[in-house]
């Protein structure tokens, strides 16, 4: 072909070629949720194929005599044979790619190559999905153009469990359903996901794995278990005077909220005005007391432990409390010291060490790999003959500084002969048997009843309460360590796991429309524009050469 026929033929081949390539891309990237995106891709494919065929037809019509003479020649027949072979090979390759695209819509396999596995569901979520025994539907009420923002996350749940189904609905297209479900218009404007099973449902407005998994927990598991935070001795509060979640950085409101997200009921409890810990108490938390307990309150704690209760005690260095004697009798001794670690600590803060070692065979820490942070922590020692086990220790180059007065005077801390060299134990857990204390109001000797037998109590102790405060609980793996400890105290071993990872790198977040524009430019417009320019350049140079 020569002249304009050659130009039209080249442009027609570009149109047909990119039309077929766009069709393959659509097959691989087809998303049934995005009907608008599929329609736009279909329009692009159709336009390319139509324009390409018209240009090729015009080219063949303009150069019909040249093409006929070329085909009758020996060279034409040879080119024809090679052309047919190339065409059949291209069609075979397209058929193979089409078959692979079809199979990809029927069989799925996910890979996560991110450093922190942020695109993979955590072991907690996977375990929960394995334990599902009834269908769960996740309905995302989004406009179609906004759906991909949550589609990938919901797709992970759908991929991992046959009992989870995901659907997307444009709220403007289903006003009757929105009214029947009594969905809040303001929440709909922001977007929400309704997680439902049978007649129960939970609405989710924060689109993270933790919130979706917590919604599944609330639907499938009503624990009926209760956790009490002891108050009255300057412990870290979980609520303010108005009864709202305590928001100060020294408070423990976020820790309480994390427990509620695990489906546990949480309340404050004052010991001074009660005779015994309530029967519905499954765990008692003493978080950072700085004042002594009354003898009556100590008796309440002892009776609770003797009945086989579950107790978490968080004591900061030099805390002015009178719990030490009881804990020592149970096999736990808190050192009058502060842990110093100049190598494995928060930058510039040697007294804020990271966890250096975890007990690999204890349920609380068996899955812990990443570190937790302990701002100002003391040593925790356990008796060798007890059923207690150290679960967290600091690094090997740390030590527990015991000459605190000299440190205060000089401002320097050095490892001395009386200090405890690292790794320093800072947390322990296990079983303790507490003798049933005498009752001052017990009946007289004549009608005395048989004393109640003691039962082993579960206990977890930490030499720091800051790690569970609002300021630090979201740092590193602090929340995992705190929640895993409560899970173990409650006997909910299946709940012990690592919560969702978050990406460490800061990224620019593209909107859905931005991503679609970038996709269209990179996959379709720019490559085809380059090909069209190339055809014009080829035609121009050929035309000049023939002159």
Is the dihedral angle over the CA atoms 103, 106, 107, 108 positive or is it negative? Answer: positive
Q: Indicate if 201 and 346 belong to the same structural domain.
A: no
> Does residue 184 have a pLDDT over 90?
no
Of the chain, the percentage scoring pLDDT greater than 70 comes to 76
The CA-atom distances, in angstroms, between 461 and each of 43, 147, 286, 394, 511 are: 65, 46, 10, 15, 46
DSSP string, 384-418: TTSEEEEEEE--TT-EEE--HHHHHHHS-----TT
* Residue-range definition of the domain harbouring residue 136: 123-213
Together in a domain, 485 and 512 = no
What is the average pLDDT score of the chain?
80
Count Cα neighbours of 458 within 13 Å in the Cβ-side half-sphere. 14
Lowest mean per-residue pLDDT among 181-195, 284-298, 350-364 = 181-195
Last residue of a domain, one of 213, 246, 279: 213
Q: What is the pLDDT of residue 440?
A: 45
| pLDDT exceeds cutoff 70 at 172 | yes
Cα(480)–Cα(476) distance, rounded to whole angstroms?
Answer: 9
Residues 10 and 141 occupy one common structural domain: no
Lowest-confidence pick of 95-109, 123-137, 176-190: 95-109
Regarding whether 521 and 542 lie in a shared domain, the answer is yes
- Please tell me which residue, 401 or 123, carries the higher pLDDT value: 401
Residue 364 pLDDT > 90, yes or no? yes
**Single residue among 185, 213, 241 that ends a domain in this structure:** 213
In angstroms, the CA 120 to CA 111 distance is: 9
Residue 23 pLDDT > 80 = no
- Crossing angle of helices 209-220 and 123-130, in 10° steps, is 30
Q: What is the mean pLDDT of residues 182-200?
A: 80
Nearest CA-CA partner of 490 in 259, 186, 292: 259
Q: How far apart are CA 171 and CA 147, in angstroms?
A: 12
Residue 291 lies in a domain: yes
Q: What local confidence, expressed as pLDDT, does residue 457 receive?
A: 95
β-pairing, 380-382 vs 420-421, is: unpaired
Q: Do 474 and 536 reside in the same domain of the chain?
A: no
Report yes or no on 433 lying in a domain. yes
Same domain, 277 and 383: yes
- The number of folded domains in the chain is 3
Burial 276-298 (b: 16+ CB within 10 A, else e): ebeeebbbbbbbbbeeebeeebb
One domain for residues 187 and 230 = no
- Mean per-residue pLDDT for 120-130? 78
Inside any domain, residue 310: yes
Predicted confidence band of residue 357 (pLDDT cuts 50, 70, 90): very high
My answer on whether 171 and 239 are in the same domain is: no
Q: Are residues 326 and 234 in the same domain?
A: yes
Looking at the predicted structure, is the pLDDT value of residue 135 above 80? Answer: yes
Residue 443 covered by a domain: no
Between 391 and 534, the higher pLDDT residue: 391
Q: Are residues 409 and 265 in the same domain?
A: yes
Asked if residue 46 is part of any domain, the answer here is yes
CA 486, CA 458: separation in Å to the nearest integer? 10
Segment 312-328 mean pLDDT: 95
CATH code of the domain in which 153 resides: 3.40.30.10
- pLDDT number for residue 69: 62
pLDDT band (50, 70, 90) for residue 444: very low
Which of 176, 194, 213 is at the close of a domain? 213
Beta bridge partners of residue 314, listed in sequence order: 287, 462
In this prediction the pTM is: 0.64
Instruction: Taking residues 235-240, report their average pLDDT.
Output: 92
Q: Return the pLDDT at 56.
A: 74
Is 104 within a domain? no
pLDDT, tens only, 86-113: 767 777 887 787 777 666 666 666 655 5
Confidence band (pLDDT; 50, 70, 90) for 59?
confident
User: Residue 376 domain-assigned?
Assistant: yes
For 20-37, what is the mean pLDDT? 58
Confidence of residue 228 (pLDDT cuts 50, 70, 90): very high
**402 and 266 housed in the same domain:** yes
Do 190 and 261 sit in the same domain of this protein? no
Q: What is the average pLDDT across 8-18?
A: 76
- pLDDT of 243-296, one tens digit each? 888 888 999 999 999 898 888 899 999 999 999 999 999 999 999 999 999 999
- Is residue 451 predicted with pLDDT exceeding 60? no
Q: Is residue 179 part of a domain?
A: yes
* 96-110, 210-224, 394-408: least confident range: 96-110
Write down the pLDDT at residue 197: 84
């Amino acid at each position: 072909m020569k002249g304009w026929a050659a130009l039209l033929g080249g442009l027609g081949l570009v149109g047909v070629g990119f039309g077929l390539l766009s069709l393959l891309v659509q097959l691989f990237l087809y998303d049934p949720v995005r009907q608008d995106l599929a329609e736009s891709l279909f329009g692009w494919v159709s336009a390319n194929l139509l324009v390409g065929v018209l240009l090729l037809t015009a080219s063949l019509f303009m150069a019909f005599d040249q093409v006929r003479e070329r085909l009758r020649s020996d060279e034409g027949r040879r080119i024809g044979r090679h052309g047919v072979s190339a065409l059949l090979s291209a069609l075979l390759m397209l058929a193979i790619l089409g078959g692979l695209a079809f199979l990809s819509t029927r069989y799925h396999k996910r890979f996560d190559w991110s450093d922190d596995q942020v695109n993979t569901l955590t072991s907690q979520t996977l375990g929960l999905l394995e334990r599902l025994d009834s269908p769960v539907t996740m309905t995302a009420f989004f406009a179609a153009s906004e759906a991909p923002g949550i589609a990938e996350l919901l797709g992970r749940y759908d991929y991992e469990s046959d009992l989870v189904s995901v659907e997307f609905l444009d709220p403007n297209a289903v006003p009757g359903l929105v009214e029947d479900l009594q969905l809040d218009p303001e929440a709909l404007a922001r977007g929400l996901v309704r997680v439902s099973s049978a007649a129960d449902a939970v609405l989710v407005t924060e689109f993270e794995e933790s919130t979706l998994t917590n919604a599944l927990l609330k639907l499938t598991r009503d624990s009926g278990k209760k956790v009490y935070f002891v108050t009255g001795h300057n412990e870290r509060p979980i609520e303010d005077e108005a009864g709202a979640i305590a928001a100060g950085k020294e408070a423990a409101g976020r820790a309480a909220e994390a427990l509620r997200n695990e489906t546990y009921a949480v309340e404050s409890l004052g010991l001074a005005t009660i005779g015994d810990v309530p029967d519905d108490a499954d765990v008692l938390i003493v978080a950072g007391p700085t004042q002594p307990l009354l003898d009556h309150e100590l008796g309440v704690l002892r009776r609770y432990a003797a009945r086989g209760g579950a107790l978490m005690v968080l004591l900061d260095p030099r805390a002015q409390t009178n719990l030490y004697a009881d804990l020592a009798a149970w096999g736990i001794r808190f050192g009058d010291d502060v842990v110093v670690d100049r190598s494995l600590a928060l930058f510039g803060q040697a007294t804020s060490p990271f966890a250096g070692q975890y007990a690999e065979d204890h349920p609380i820490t068996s899955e812990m790999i990443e570190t937790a942070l302990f701002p100002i922590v003391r040593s925790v020692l356990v008796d060798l003959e007890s059923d207690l086990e150290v679960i967290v220790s600091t690094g090997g180059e740390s030590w527990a500084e015991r000459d605190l007065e000299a440190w205060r005077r000089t401002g320097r801390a050095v490892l001395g002969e009386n200090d405890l060299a690292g790794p320093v134990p800072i947390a322990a857990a296990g079983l303790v048997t507490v003798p049933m204390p005498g009752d001052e109001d017990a009946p007289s000797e004549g009608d005395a009843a048989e004393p109640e037998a003691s039962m082993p109590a579960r206990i977890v102790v930490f030499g720091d309460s800051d790690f569970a405060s609002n300021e630090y609980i979201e740092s590193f793996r602090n929340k995992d360590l705190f929640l895993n400890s409560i899970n173990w105290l409650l006997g909910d071993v299946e709940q012990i796991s690592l919560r969702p990872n978050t990406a460490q790198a800061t990224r620019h977040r593209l909107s859905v429309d931005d991503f679609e524009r970038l996709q269209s430019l990179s996959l379709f417009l720019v490559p085809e524009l380059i090909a069209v320019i190339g055809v014009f350049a080829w035609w121009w140079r050929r035309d000049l050469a023939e002159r």
